[in-house]
Amino acid sequence: MPLELLTRISVLIPFPATYVQFLLVDQIITNFEQTFGGITYSDNIIIPTFQGQWYDRATKRTDYDQHTLVWSDARIPISDAVLQDYLDRLKQQTQFDFNQKIVWITLHEVHRVTTHDPP
């Protein structure tokens, strides 16, 4: 079985609440497509597709958040310095633009099955 090693980049972007934030999400999606050659994302304009919740020990309550999930399987090694710099800047800018303490970005290697794929 032939396999292709890729780096999966996953980003949970806060669901946009304003027109400006909708434009920012669109910019991130477009940039991902141009940078990594393709993208998959949850696209629901009215109701967010992904809900998050976690317990905040400081306030002793459960917080809730709504997200847009964006991911791409890139032909870039997970240790690539340019990729890491790109994601550092994306994380910092997205946290600022959406007034978030944390924007969740994960990386992991995936092995895509390429049996019978065209060259």
CB atoms closer than 10 angstroms to residue 9: 24
Token pair for residue 77? 């090694």
Q: Residue 33 to residues 25, 57, 74, 76, 93: CA-CA distances in angstroms?
A: 12, 38, 10, 14, 18
Within a domain: 31: yes
Domain that holds residue 45: 3-113
Predicted TM-score (pTM) of this structure? 0.86
pLDDT in tens, the chain (119 residues): 999 999 999 999 988 888 999 899 999 999 999 999 999 988 766 676 788 888 989 999 998 888 889 999 999 999 999 999 999 999 999 999 999 989 999 999 999 999 999 88
Which CATH number goes with the domain that contains 40? 3.30.70.120
The shares of helix, strand and coil residues in the chain, as percent rounded to the nearest 5, are: 30, 40, 35
Does 118 map to a domain?
no
Q: 60 in a domain, yes or no?
A: yes
Total domains in the chain come to 1
Residue 119 in domain:
no
